[in-house]
A and B are shown apart, each in its own frame.
Chain A
Amino acid sequence: MTERMWNNHEMRSSYDVVIIGGGAHGLATAYYLAKNHGITNIAVIEQKFIGYGGSGRNTAILRSNYRTEEGILFYDQSLKLYEDLAQELDYNLMFSQQGHFTLGHSTASMQALTTRAAYNRALGVNSTILDPPEIKKMLPEIDISNHPRYPIMGALYHPPGGIIRHDAVVWSYARGADQRGVHIHQLTEVQDILVENGEVRGVKTNRGTIHCKQVVSCVAGWSSEICKMVGIKLPLVTHPLQALVTTDYKPWLHHVVVSSTLHIYLSQTDRGELVCGNGIDHYPHYGMRSTLGFLESYAAHLLELFPILHNVTVQRQWAGLCDMTPDYSPIISMVDDVDGFYINCGWGTWGFKGSPASGWNTAQMVAERKTPDMIAAFRHDRYVKNRLVGEKAAASVGN
């Protein structure tokens, strides 16, 4: 008989915790609630199938070279969890810590990268500034001449950064959670969240009502819709983000390369394909259409960096949704007015790399009903208290 990685279960009429969203964040939260806190009577409710959203649509780049103290410590915890995850979950996640370049093309961007390197090192994160000849040594195919519109002036190099197999992360968290008793309900849509006297009472789904006292929303691009159900308005704007994958080539690119000025990032998978991403589309939208305009601008910018790639052919493109916050940091928060409701969103273009730390800390918040120090800065009310965690300078591309 076929052994399934996770099982289908009858939906119970009540659970201790309902997690909305079966992506990496929701599943990691379920897994760490079960593993770290012994809470296993959990339902993960997924509208489509697990990993349908951002977890299956990102470019699988991991790094912790952020700009703020809060951001650096959080993503460093995430990267360290990723380092041990394959062993912990007994699943080959194909994590390749191949090093991560963020290219600088102007004096201003070099200053910003230098500041990031200093902040990173002060907090124990390995980051350094390289000059063009040093970059060329590690990326022999890159054009460091002064011919392109935006010549390369240097780079922030972050050795622990790399790439991972994103589907495997989703599947292995799902298996780990399932083995500990968590129920994963796919093709189940949340239609309303039931609140009485300021306390969560349950969720209404297309398959019936579930009674529960704690609900965690981990739905990224759809967060505004879920939060509307409990009367919370968040400063989120959802934009599509497009990516593409080329046909496969012999291994030649051994590091992740990002240029925020040229709005591109690329890496090469073990199979040999180049996985390429861009900045977010400029218009807020919930559609996940691929456009020719993206292909055209990506091709132009990629060939500025790597002219040798002119004959590379594009195999497939896709798009995902990004819930962008004003300060480019996530929102992981309890809600004072709705006891038992927790928000985990605002993951914009930086969500996949944060998944383990997001799950770890959200689980702790739910189990202890108080905010862990690690994510204290990411509360939802920081926008009204003017205590932003500005990470725009560390976003991969100039969105």
Chain B
Amino acid sequence: MEIIVPIRQVPDVALNIRVNEGKVVEDGVSFVISSWDETAIEGALQMTEELGGEVTLLGIGPERVSEALRKGLAMGAHKAIHVLYEEGQTDSFGYAKIMAKVMEGRNYDLILTGKQAQDTDAGLTASMLAEFLDLPQVTNIIRFSDLAVDGMTLYRKGDHGTEVIGIKLPAVVTVNDSLNEPRLASMRGIMMAKKKPMETLSPSDLGMGAEELGLQGSMTEVLKFEKPESRKEGERFEGDETETVPMAIQKLVSEAKLAV
């Protein structure tokens, strides 16, 4: 079973993200694999461990994206494709188009990726990719079963329950983080990742011109980023409970407009 896993490298959201003049400050930021994509890598590894075949990672972006790909290779993926891409702002449509170009002429049974990227939370790229490739798609899966090279059963999480869907391959599938617990890279995996094949392509290698890249190739534009307003400092009531509890309730009613 041949699986391609598109991954996105995102700023580590566990750390403080700084915004300056409407742009995210990249200096000093650690970049990591988007967590849903890590889940997709783990899912793909489990599938190939059962059925054989290889997992190919696909990353699009500047030189630093090769680190994310090597981390995915250290987890156990077999090879990687890096589209070296420095075009700046690109939306889901733009990325989906580049991915579709990468897929041309390649042999794959499944494209498995995260349900959305951790930085934009858009959740559009995989669906757009499925449309470009004219493939069936299932999003937000929490489980798979009846695995075979030509199809499988997928469990899709919805608001009010779980849909159980049979799908024929090839297809595009996105994963929810409850699908699995991604494995950590082992010392041997980290060493072996250095020797695994990584194919580096440029947009021009894919036959893409300037009109298909960056803002020109996108359908939306992010005008600016704004940091959420920080929460106001709380008020502490110290002393005897018979006095402080009524004081706190009065504040909740008068300032927080809580109906008692």
Contact = CB atoms under 8 A, between A and B. Distances in A.
Nearest to A291: B67
Contact of A296 (B28, B183, B186, B194): B194
Interface in B150-193: 183-188, 190-191, 193
Interface in A198-254: 247
B202 interface: no
Given A292-B70, A292-B71, A311 B187 contact: yes
Interface string A15-32: 000000000000000000
B67 A311 contact: no
B30 interface: yes
Interface string A275-310: 000000000000101111001100110110000011
Given A292-B67, A292-B71, A303 B191 contact: yes
Contact of A303 (B67, B184, B187, B194): B187
Contacts of B70: 292
Contacts of A302: 187
Nearest to A287: B28
A303 B188 CA distance: 8
A289 B30 contact: yes
Contact of B185 (A289, A303, A313): A313
Contact of A312 (B28, B71, B187): B187
Interface string B24-40: 00001110000000000
B185 A314 contact: yes
B190 A296 contact: yes
A299 B28 contact: no
Interface residues of B, number: 17
A299 B70 CA distance: 14
A315 interface: yes
A315 B181 CA distance: 13
B30 A310 contact: no
Nearest to B29: A289
B67 A309 contact: no
A90 to B, nearest CB: 27
A310 B188 contact: yes
B191 A312 contact: no
A185 to B, nearest CB: 16
Given A287-B28, A289-B28, A292-B70, A300 B184 contact: no
A312 B183 CA distance: 12
Given A292-B71, A295-B190, A313 B28 contact: no
Interface in B62-111: 67, 70-71, 74
A315 B184 contact: yes
A313 B184 contact: yes
Sorted nearest first, the 3 A-B pairs with minimum C-beta distance are A313-B184, A310-B188, A299-B190
Interface of A: 247, 287, 289-292, 295-296, 299-300, 302-303, 309-315
Interface of B: 28-30, 67, 70-71, 74, 183-188, 190-191, 193-194
Given A289-B29, A296-B190, A310-B188, 17 more contacts: A247-B184, A289-B28, A290-B30, A292-B67, A292-B70, A292-B71, A296-B191, A296-B194, A299-B190, A303-B187, A303-B188, A303-B191, A310-B186, A312-B187, A313-B186, A314-B190, A315-B184
